[in-house]
Every structure is written in structure tokens, then in C-alpha cells.
Amino acid sequence: MKIASIIGARPNFIKLAPVSREIRGKFNEIIIHTGQHYDYEMDKVFFDELGIPEPDYHLDVGSGSHGEQTGEMLKRVEKVLIREEPDLILVYGDTNTTLAGALAASKLHIKVGHIEAGLRSFDRRMPEEINRILVDHCSDLLFCPTKTAVKNLEKEGIVRGVYLTGDVMVDALQRSIGIAERNSRILEKLNLGLRDYYLATIHRAENTDDFKRLKAIVEAFCEIGNIVFPCHPRTEKCLKNFGLWDTLKQVKVIKPVGYLDMLILEKNAKKIITDSGGVQKEAYIFRVPCITLRENTEWIETVEDGWNLLVEADKEKIVKVVREFEPRNKQRNVFGDGVASRKIAEIIGGIK
């Protein structure tokens, strides 16, 4: 069987790594990179650190408005799929790359497998929510990370081809944390003590593109102090355009870091402040209290278990919550045991 993995953005690479490891060797795998992310620290670093094979196709689509970017990907991915004729394509998560890959394949009657299917924030203002819904509805195999995801699909009438596998990000984390602990020097480099700093990541359009929200977040960060902030290129651009970049003096703003450094920064942080989907999960897995600067989350179990608090972009509220939040609750095994990729490979092996 020939399988094409279609990836293009940072979280796609991290999810691909353990899956590729399982399917390569068992099947004929090719990798198609749309080029949605392209800076070294948003792209190549993950291939180097996670041992992901060099993509067979690099489509160099780059940045653009949603329509422009997704349309260009659709056009270029289609050409490759016509040429390669895979039996199955795999897409990961909820990015524009995920949507373009799924759409291009389903129109060519190629089977689509969605890894991280069934997630819902129930907020259609998020581009990711539109991507998830559309991808799930044109997928043949839906690999769900959680029971909630399976139920979400059921409510939308999707019951065929649905598999509860656990979360491939647990597989990635378990495989890499030991390597990170041996090799990362990020704490020394930034002069950070264990549980002595806050870690922040912000990149959601709803926070970065809205001056009032971004200003409130920046002011809260300055007041809290002692924050390490690996800054997404989108956020850097918005901070500069809004004239907020220079006000971040009390915050350790750094370039985005590689996966290994990120795991170490997360594991040893006092608390994490984020609007990232993946970072909310990693905080939960490392048992680090997480404050999520969003009105909703698709990773609802982290909130239900009391390890993640949703806070709106209001300076006073952010400062208070970050200072006071102390989760005491027990955790459930929500995201699986680190064998999701193996299960996915077995399921694929069983289909006709």
C-alpha cells in the first residue's frame, strides 16, 4: 500500500514523526510538505530533531490569506497526488495544510485518514474549527485521540471508520523527553532554575490580530515578570505592527525553540500560559498548571480535570489567575499510553 502524508506546519511535523516511524517500512510512505511553515525554527529543526525523513515533495506554498494559501496548496497537492496515485493519504490536526490535503485527495477518490479527528472547540470563528469539521466529514479513517472526540463525531453522524487510538503527541513526547533531558542546554542558556519561571506561547489569530487583546496580554506578561516567551513569527509581526514589541522589556522574548528545548522548558516551568492546542496537552502530561488565554478549548478534559484554566484576554484577570492557580486534582489517563501511532499503523494494515 502506498501512503502519502501531507504536512506543512509545526504541529503537523510533531504529529507526523511517530506515525511515520511506524508506517515507514510496513508501507510505501511518501511525504508531501506544503511549505506552510518555512523558517528554520518553525520547520527544518523538527525534521532534524525528530528524525523525520526528508519530504519527497516540497511545494513551497508559503504564507498568504486563508483562501490564497489553501487554494494554492490544493492546486499543488492535487498535481502530486495525480502523479503518485497513493492508496491512502494521511493528514494531521487542523491546519490549512490538513484541509487542503484532505480536500485534494477526496476529490480524486483517494482514501483520507485524519489523525487527531473529532476535536471541536464549538467556535466557528476559529479557522482551525472549520478545518477540523470539513476534514472529518471527508475522511474515511478517523483516528481519535480521546473519547470526547469519538462522541463529537457521533453527534455529527460520523460513526464509520472511527477509531479511538490515543494521542500521537503522547507518543512523540515519550520518545523525545529522554533525548531532550540528555541533550538540551536551554535552561543553562537562558539562566533558568527549575520551577522558577513561567513559560508563555501565543499565536492564535484571535489574540495576535486584535490590538486590545494583544495589548492586555503583553501588559499582563510585563506585570507577572519572569516569563520566557518563545515568540511565533505571526505574533512577532503583530507585536511590531501594533507598536507593542518594545514594551516587552521585562519578558524574555526568544525565537521559537526546537521540540527538545520546548519539552524541557515546559517540564520545568512553574506554570504555562498559552493559547496553543498542543502546549495545553503537554502541560497536562507534565503536570504543569496551564492558563489558556482563550474562551474555549478542544482539549476540554484538561479543564475538567482542573489542570487548565481558560481566561479571557483581560490584564487583571490574567495576572490574578497566573499568580493564584494551584491545581490539586488527580489526573485521568486521557490521552493514551504512547502507542497511538502503532495502533494507527495496525488499523491501516487491516483495511482493504
Active-site amino acid positions: 203
Q: Which does 63 bind (CB under 5 to 8 A by kind): ligand UDP, ligand UD1, none?
A: ligand UD1
Residue 331 Cβ vs ligand UD1, minimum distance, rounded to whole Å = 24
Between CA 299 and CA 315 the distance in angstroms is: 24
User: Rounded to the nearest 10 degrees, what angle do helices 168-183 and 10-23 cross at?
Assistant: 100
Please, what is the minimum distance in Å from the beta carbon of residue 104 to ligand UDP? 21
Q: Which is nearer to ligand UD1, 161 or 230 (CB)?
A: 230
**CB atoms closer than 10 angstroms to residue 123:** 14
Q: Copy the grid coordinates of residue 286.
A: 507534565
The 10 Å Cβ neighbour count of residue 250 is 12
The residue within the footprint of ligand UDP, chosen from 278, 289, 327, 338 (CB under 6 A), is: 278
Give me the least distance between CB of 351 and ligand UD1, in Å please.
28
State in angstroms the smallest separation of the CB of 199 from ligand UD1: 16
The yes or no reply on residue 256 touching ligand UDP (CB under 6 A) is: yes
| Region 177-216 residues binding ligand UDP, contact defined as CB under 6 A | 201
Residue number, 89 or 257, with CB nearest to ligand UDP = 257
Is 201 one of the binding residues for ligand UD1 (CB under 6 A)?
A: no
Return all residues near 245 (Cβ < 8 A) that are at least 6 apart.
Answer: 236, 239
**Does the protein bind ligand UD1 through residue 42 (CB under 6 A)?**
yes
Q: What is the DSSP string of 13-68?
A: HHHHHHHHHHHBTTBEEEEEE--S--SGGGTHHHHHHHTPPPPSEE-------HHH
Task: Write the DSSP assignment of 58-70 as a string of letters.
Answer: E-------HHHHH
278, 176 Cβ separation under 8 angstroms:
no
DSSP 90-107: EEETTSHHHHHHHHHHHH
* 44 is an interface residue for ligand UD1 by CB under 6 A: no
Tell me if 259 contacts ligand UDP by CB under 6 A: yes
257 binds, among ligand UDP, ligand UD1, none (CB under 5 to 8 A by kind): ligand UDP
In the complex with ligand UDP, the residue whose CB is nearer, 118 or 230, is: 230
Least distance CB 292 / ligand UD1 (angstroms): 13
List phi, psi (to 5°) of 233.
-60, -35
Choose the one of ligand UD1, ligand UDP, none that binds residue 201, judging by a C-beta under 5 to 8 angstroms depending on kind. Answer: ligand UDP
Binding part of the chain for ligand UD1, among 38-46, 104-112, 139-147, 321-329 by CB under 6 A, reads 38-46
The residue within the footprint of ligand UD1, chosen from 56, 127, 244, 245 (CB under 6 A), is: 127
Contact pattern for ligand UD1 over residues 93 through 112, marking x by CB under 6 A = -xxx----------------
Runs of H (alpha helix) within the chain:
10-23, 44-50, 66-84, 96-107, 127-137, 147-155, 168-183, 186-189, 205-208, 211-224, 233-241, 259-267, 277-285, 300-304, 315-324, 340-350
Residue 275: φ, ψ to 5°: -130, 10
- Residues that bind ligand UD1 in the complex, under the rule CB under 6 A: 9-11, 36-39, 42, 63, 94-96, 127-128, 203, 232-234, 237
The binding site for ligand UDP (CB under 6 A) comprises 10-11, 14, 201, 230, 256-257, 259, 262, 276-279, 282
